[in-house]
Amino acid sequence: MGRLWQTLYLSQWQQMFAYLPVETVIKDQQTQYYQALSSSDKAGDSTTSYCSCLKHYYHQ
């Protein structure tokens, strides 16, 4: 469910995110993705997880 919200937020910011293969990026970078989610959860701020996803999208 979190990935759906993440895609929704990012696609409202930049429409191109509605068409990116989120599941593929997460599968390829699963360890880093879950580390970023954990850091964001502990900090109470989702910035870390969004930055992590954006970085992985950029490098694809």
Q: Provide the pLDDT for residue 59.
A: 63
Long-range contacts of 23-26 (CB under 8 A, 24+ apart): 25/53, 25/56, 25/57, 25/60
Q: What domain range is 45 assigned to?
A: 2-58
For 18-47, what is the HEC assignment?
HHCCHHHHHHHCHHHHHHHHHHHHHHCCCH
What is the reported pLDDT for 20? 77
pTM: 0.55
Q: How many domains does the chain have?
A: 1
Each residue's pLDDT tens digit, 2-22: 678 778 888 898 888 788 777
